[in-house]
Structure 1
Amino acid sequence: MNLLTRLRETAKNAAGKTAYYFMGQGTTYAELDGTITKFASGLEKLGVKQGDHVALLLGNSPHFVIGLYGALRLGATVIPVNPIYTADEIGYILNNGDVKLVVALDMAIPLAEKVHAFLPKVKKFVFCETSENGISQHNVESLTLYSKMKSFTEVIASGDLTYQGPELKDDDTAIILYTSGTTGKPKGAMLTHKNLYSNASDVADYLRMNDQDRVITILPMFHVFCLTVALNAPLLSGATLLIAPKFSPKEIFELAKEFEATIFAGVPTMYNFLYQYPEGNPEDFKSLRLCISGGASLPVALLNNFEKKFNVRVSEGYGLSEASPVTCFNPLDRPRKAGSIGTSILHVENKIVNELGEELPVGAVGELIVSGPNVMKGYYKMPEETAAAIRNGWLYTGDLARMDEDGYFYIVDRKKDLIIVGGFNVYPREVEEVLYNHPDVVEAAVLGVPDSNLGEAVKCYVVSKNPNTTEEQLLEYCREHLAKYKVPASIEFLEELPKNTTGKILRRALKTQITHTV
């Protein structure tokens, strides 16, 4: 079984069921499956073969869903790319990933015109038409890129509805996800059809997804969190996607109310914005049975405040690209422990080890490692990095964690973000949790900075909703709740914290950017 087979089964058995709503318009499973089939056939007619690499430079839209499943049905390998990356970042991924065809919005045509000569492996560009920023046929014909171009609708129109596609093997590479590259050039994690299906299926079972669920799909589809939890798992379950093109608290509340959403998946920053939104009406969320948080640690204070205000359970989980991504979730049939990423999901094993790979006892802090059918086959064209990440069948995550006596795991921090103050370990999350409990703090980020006496010192960046809050007030608050060596040496106020496209706060960007005290 794979995602494509399961989708086809749903389209046959529940043809009239709505697969997704986008901009108020619904599309059934039968219509979606038919369009995917024709797109796959159209790609084949453009010369794309099984095993070729197809890149998607798309935001949240039906184009992404059709492009993803269409390319997979053909047997191609899909490489999702953040469409707001710079030309250099995109060029690196397309070249390193040996991409043969690119699917992008038509607003990317000017960029493609500038760089396509430097992308010799890319033979075709398929551009998705938009209602604005489109380029007229006359202008398109004048481009040097013109011979390589096709429109998304043309590809679908050329396709054959009876197309069957090749047999897909479990170990075939389905998707290559490029990591953020915070420690160097991005690495492409190769995920197989088995990786994707097993994780989507296990997540759906763990969270009890069913064909009556309506899932708000606002996380970026090109990101692995959304890909599995808010796209593949719902479609595998026969649920309905409520596709939102961009995050807006106002629109999320309206979407949830209009379509009686049952599941919302987001990152901590989204929960913070929803909680802080003045017009946020708990009645608009009354249909929600579950909120899912991932991508970064959710501050306990925010979790408790959100649950109290909106009367909905928030279950935090954990994952990484190399694991397709989910390894842990707070279970629905047992108590949810605030601050925990939960227990191991079905068919996945997590454990805590020391530097020698030896399992540590309950409560001890060590590196979290993972094993299961969701673990990647390796990094694309990087055998040494693969060998370092996967050892004896275990994926080494680089995250420091501990496990309690009930089998619940807690992320302490990224191994590389650990701050050592005078020989004492300080975990940024611990300090951040204290700051989030202060009534004036909206966001906080903690990192280590060089210190001539102690080796490192704790530095904090804070966004406050009270312009009168002072550094000394927050430092005094920290002194009341933290050991002396954990208390920040300084706190700097910012209007906002730097984030990536999923809303995750970027600590490393804070180390290099020039900041200004508010």
Structure 2
Amino acid sequence: MRWELDWLENRARLTPNKNAIIDGETNKAWSYEELNNRSKSVASWLESRGVKKGDRIALLSPNHISYFDLLFACGKIGAIFVPLNWRLSNSEIKGILQDCSPVLIGIHLRFQNMLTGLQTIDCTPFFVGNSSYEEMIFNSKCPQLLESISEQDPLAIIYTGGTTGKPKGVVLSHQSIQWNAINTILSWSLTETDVTINYMPMFHTGGLNALSIPVLMIGGTVVIGDQFEEEQAVNSINHYGCTIILLVPTMYHMLVQTEEFNRSKFPSMKIFLSGAAPCPLQIYEAFQKKGIAFKEGYGLTEAGPNNFFIRPEDAQEKQGSVGKPMLYNSIKLVKETGVEASANEVGELLIKGKHSFSHYWNNQQATTETVKNGWVHTGDLAKKDEHGFFYIVGRKKDMIITGGENVYPLEIEHWMAAYPGIDEVAVIGIPDEKWGERVAAIIVSKADHRLDEDELRTYCEKKLGRYKIPKSFIFIKELPKTHVGKIDKVKLKEMSIGIQEARGEQ
């Protein structure tokens, strides 16, 4: 089945001279033929170092072409690619390396200072992003490709960026990565004319699998972005003629406030996509005012991450909806009772499809808890309207139970985010002797506004039931974020409880 799985080899045959990758920092471009040759050279080099089928190859690097080199090289010889979150501490990275035990670890020169702290790990380091790495690619021969590879074999392990507990290694097979790409291409109507710039971290599924792999599979062009800077992002989107882009809500929050965004007409763009977390409705409005198509999606490392499709016109009419399930996956919502939810009822989101993950590395218990009868239990709550459009309500663990009533923070966050003077807001539950939990709104004010709690309560009363109105308003300078731009509600809850205790509000 090797040639069925090695789609890059076939893509390089079909469009050898088409630009596959462009480095957004240096403007260096690689054609599909060059990209395939690079991966074959790296595969040969890995074989020369004794790498066998099933061996793990780790990478600690900013967004860089070595991600594609190593992913595709591992695919050719049956090894397993493990991209590492460089924003973690040395001890956290060591924990991941001890869990997956790679035989080799590539380290970008930018992170060579981290090597000392990793020396106790039994794996051999090599550097990427320097002349010796390019020399190695240039001098390597074609790989022997001795191993038989099936679509069920692991291709990558991506460690979850969860905010609680030990990161789990999500094992993605050739099948899951390939079918996510096929499903995305067909459901989203991607073509070889599509160009995207990727600012999402490539150690994350959003950086590798959401758009990069689908765009490459169909023969489009991926521009590698490094650090996201909102003004430069607008210029780069226009410079490279991007047609589609995926950013997280935090990036959009910064982007829409720039003069560059206000001035640009984005002539090449077909669609802006938002992912990783629910998007505030004022982002929709910023794009609507400019007449530019915008929509959001939903995904997770364990499934896809792409699962839904919505037309831009439907996204404007049904703001906040992620749309309907894509062509090759199934979705259902299940209530606490185990019964499937009806229209407009909230239930846990379950996903099934060939794009789903295989298992958690070295963690059978977590695998059993997450995958039941072929369905991935996401831990996310959602509802479906009478027309079949899905809306993400929030994380199951984030739901607030106050006085016996269920409160979904996202509903309150959407309403409060539209209030003049609020820059960002997050809603959490804080332990309360009387109510069990009380609703608390954590607010970042805009620089030129001073907010009044009584005014905020009055504003909330216009839309929200009394039990949903925050009993506490806490003002801070900045919301803590995870490495992919999600609001870190675990850290936020710890901070808020500390603030409340200091105030004597327990």
Confirm or deny that 1:57 pairs with 2:37: no
Per the normalisation by structure 1, the TM-score is 0.91
Q: Is the 8 A contact 2:234 2:260 kept in 1?
A: no
Of 37, 44, 57, the match for 2:40: 37
Of 365, 378, 381, the match for 1:400: 381
Greater shift after overlay, 10-19 or 357-366? 357-366
Of 489, 493, 504, the match for 2:471: 489
- Offset at 1:163? 5.0
Distance 2:458 2:133 in 1: 59
- Offset at 1:282? 4.6
User: Equivalent residue for 1:134?
Assistant: none
User: Equivalent residue for 2:307?
Assistant: 327
Provide, for residues 388-440 of structure 1, a one-character-per-residue CA deviation record: whole Å limited to 9, x for no partner: 11111111111111111222111111111010111111111011001111122
Between the two proteins, the alignment pairs up a number of residues equal to 494
Q: Is the 8 A contact 2:61 2:111 kept in 1?
A: no
Does the residue aligned with 1:79 lie in a helix, a strand or coil? strand
Confirm or deny that 1:312 pairs with 2:292: yes
Distance 1:159 1:471 in 2: 66
The amino acid of 1:420's aligned partner reads I
Do the aligned partners of residues 129 and 20 (structure 1) sit closer, same or farther apart at CA in structure 2, a change above 3 Å counting? closer
Distance 1:500 1:354 in 2: 29
Does the residue aligned with 1:99 lie in a helix, a strand or coil? coil
Distance 1:306 1:421 in 2: 36
- Offset at 1:331? 4.0
Of 12, 24, 28, the match for 1:25: 28
Provide, for residues 30-81 of structure 1, a one-character-per-residue CA deviation record: whole Å limited to 9, x for no partner: 1111111101111111121111011121221112221222222221111111
Distance 2:363 2:349 in 1: 22
Confirm or deny that 1:66 pairs with 2:69: yes
User: Equivalent residue for 1:361?
Assistant: 342
Moved >3 Å (runs of 4+): 1-4, 161-167, 331-336, 513-517
User: Equivalent residue for 1:240?
Assistant: 221
Q: Is the 8 A contact 1:3 1:236 kept in 2?
A: no
User: Equivalent residue for 1:176?
Assistant: 157
RMSD over aligned CA atoms reads 2.1
Q: Is the 8 A contact 1:42 1:157 kept in 2?
A: no
Distance 2:319 2:309 in 1: 12
Confirm or deny that 1:280 pairs with 2:283: no
Does the residue aligned with 2:259 lie in a helix, a strand or coil? coil
- Offset at 1:332? 6.0
Q: Is the 8 A contact 2:47 2:143 kept in 1?
A: no
Distance 2:304 2:62 in 1: 20
User: Equivalent residue for 2:503?
Assistant: none
User: Equivalent residue for 2:101?
Assistant: 98
User: Equivalent residue for 2:230?
Assistant: 249
Does the residue aligned with 1:12 lie in a helix, a strand or coil? helix
Q: Is the 8 A contact 1:315 1:329 kept in 2?
A: no
The amino acid of 1:79's aligned partner reads V
Q: Is the 8 A contact 1:221 1:231 kept in 2?
A: no
Do the aligned partners of residues 386 and 40 (structure 1) sit closer, same or farther apart at CA in structure 2, a change above 3 Å counting? same
Of 24, 27, 46, the match for 2:49: 46
Per the normalisation by structure 2, the TM-score is 0.93
Does the residue aligned with 2:302 lie in a helix, a strand or coil? helix
Segments of 5+ residues of structure 2 without an aligned counterpart are: 501-506
Q: Percent identity?
A: 35
Do the aligned partners of residues 165 and 357 (structure 1) sit closer, same or farther apart at CA in structure 2, a change above 3 Å counting? farther
Q: Is the 8 A contact 2:315 2:323 kept in 1?
A: no
User: Equivalent residue for 1:341?
Assistant: 322
User: Equivalent residue for 1:146?
Assistant: none
